[in-house]
Structure 1
Amino acid sequence: MDQPTLGILHPGSMGAAVAARAATNAAAVLWCPDGRSPASTSRAERFGLKPVSTLQELLDRSDIVISLCPPAAAEDLARDVAAHRFGGVYVEANAINAERSVRIADVLGTTTAAVVDGGVVGSPPVRGKSPTLYLSGPAAAAARVEALFFGTAVRTKVLGTEVGQASALKLAYASFQKASRVLVALAIGLAREHGVDQELLAIASRRTDSYLSEPEYIAKTATRAWRWGPELDEAADMLVAAGLPPEMLRAAASTLARWNDAKDGELTLTDALDRLAQP
């Protein structure tokens, strides 16, 4: 089978790195810089993505399209793609709840597109990192996405044929991992306020299986809060749908919002804790 052409919408730090890995098995990896930031352009150039002038051109040339954007934009982006009558494989890989993934599949189902639900678990595939792209949806379409990443640093696993399964797994994991990091920041912030933070860290150092032993990660959490908060709200929505209490994840998302202005910046641990203590 001929190598497919891949389009990526829109290449953030995760999307650009994931798409670049597919270049091994793709004829080309395309992106559209129209309306994107200089940072996005620089990132795309660094990862060797090929620019095209319009979304229509990207969709016309692509056999497979991966959507990786902020959760709030996922459905609008899918509607834009549907309006252009895309007929290939659309990988909905955003951190959104399963209900929204199903809605997107329905929207794109009005065209001839095959929608594969996706969820990336792990860090971007750079500097030796190997995230897993979980997939669910039509078997033939999922197999094409698997083939795209075969032998690369992006591992794939198909969970089943039901759209929403990959999204559910992604958010179930994110709800634990991200909320746990928020709890670490609150614990150390509270201890610091009373002058016992070093003693807390000493206790944590004897429990290396706990996120509490990694206080340096608080600064990273702060700079990623603008992305993590919406993910936790998505997970909270899924808890409501499942009849489970969402309050813990809503509170974690609200806490993360205190760091929204630190988007992708450079912070020290002290900076992050200072910002957390200022509503």
Structure 2
Amino acid sequence: MTTTTIGLLHPGAMGVTLGNSAVSAGHPVLWAGDQRSEASHDRAQSAGLTDVHTVEALVSQSDIIFSICPPHAAVTVAESVAQAGFKGIFVDANAVSTDTTATIQSIIESKNATFVDGGIIGPPAVQQDTTRLYVSGPAAGQIEEIFEETLMQGLAISEHIGDASALKMAYAAYTKGHSALLLLSRALAKANGIEKHLLNEWALSQPHLASLCEREGRTAAKKAWRFNGEMREIANTMEHSALPGDIHEGAAKIYDRLVSFQHSAEAPSVADTLEQLVKNTD
């Protein structure tokens, strides 16, 4: 096996499991820990990542760099890597539109580096067969090879840049869009004073919805600060595909109302989530 030095920007809950999968396959994984939180340092250390402190050091020592960050930061991260003179393979594995992907590709290739489009589907990779990194582009096969027999499954789907991002957008359009719609339905009932009647009807006709809403009220609200940008990236992809993006622009506004839960010590209850949705106005 050829050992590849990997740089990871940045080891959040998802990224750190990608890094750990690469480490488990025998590849050294670097990250830049300067000015990062104590939680980031703890995650990186537990995953076996090596702290080289700065982005500049990471760029100079890495063969492949993975960018995993909130959608709104994806272009800025790519610019920082390009400006540092990276010449290897840059994998953008963020939840961004095909249009944003093309922008990042242009940034990376302008410095004679190689770009690979990526999209992660599934939870953080801590169990087998739950999480897939889809990649596309001429160098996608090299990325797939890194993750052979690891918890993060790599799947090269084509040589066309944009295919992996389009797949991620299509998948999340339903999953995270559905979560927003479910919470909005219950918020509408609450705003009109008939929430208990909606819950009674759900119990009769769709008994799974109440528990699903409880779960989404906790998990989606805590991640709303990322999901709002992702919804706008989906809307952009829809519009560039000659499809209506209004639904996901609306979903972004729902998540906008919940961004205050980002720094909550615990996930909010569905009651807190609904209260936040109802009390806000555009």
What is the TM-score normalised by the length of structure 1?
A: 0.91
* More divergent stretch after superposition (193-202 vs 247-256): 193-202
RMSD of the TM alignment (CA)?
2.0
Instruction: Confirm whether residue 240 of structure 1 aligns to residue 218 of structure 2.
Output: no
User: 1 CA distance for matches of 2:153 and 2:199?
Assistant: 35
**Number of aligned positions between the proteins:** 276
CA drift at 1:135: 0.6
User: 2 CA distance for matches of 1:116 and 1:67?
Assistant: 11
Moved over 4 A (4+): 193-196, 210-213
Instruction: Confirm whether residue 39 of structure 1 aligns to residue 39 of structure 2.
Output: yes
Aligned to 2:117: 117
Aligned to 1:229: 228
* More divergent stretch after superposition (189-198 vs 121-130): 189-198
Is 1:184–1:218's contact at 8 Å kept on the other side of the alignment? no
Aligned to 1:17: 17
CA drift at 1:38: 2.7
User: 2 CA distance for matches of 1:116 and 1:14?
Assistant: 18
Is 1:25–1:147's contact at 8 Å kept on the other side of the alignment? no
CA drift at 1:109: 1.3
Aligned to 2:166: 168
User: 1 CA distance for matches of 2:226 and 2:248?
Assistant: 14
Is 2:99–2:236's contact at 8 Å kept on the other side of the alignment? no
Evaluate the alpha carbon distance shift between residue 264 and residue 15 of structure 1 in structure 2; reply closer, same or farther with a 3 A threshold. farther
Please list, as runs of the form range in 1=range in 2, the aligned pairs for 1:1-279 lying within 5 A after superposition. 1-126=1-126, 130-138=130-138, 141-193=139-191, 196-201=194-199, 203-204=201-202, 207=206, 213-216=211-214, 217-263=216-262, 265=264, 266=266, 267-279=268-280
State the SS of the aligned residue for 1:23: helix
C-alpha distance after superposition, 1:47-87 (max 9, x if no partner): 23211121121112211110011212211211211122212
Is 1:26–1:148's contact at 8 Å kept on the other side of the alignment? no
Amino acid at match of 1:47: A
What is the TM-score normalised by the length of structure 2?
A: 0.90
Amino acid at match of 1:259: L
Give structure 1 stretches of 5+ with no counterpart: none
Is 1:181–1:211's contact at 8 Å kept on the other side of the alignment? no
User: Taking every aligned residue pair, what percent have the same amino acid on both sides?
Assistant: 35
Amino acid at match of 1:214: L
Give structure 2 stretches of 5+ with no counterpart: none
CA drift at 1:88: 1.5
Amino acid at match of 1:158: A
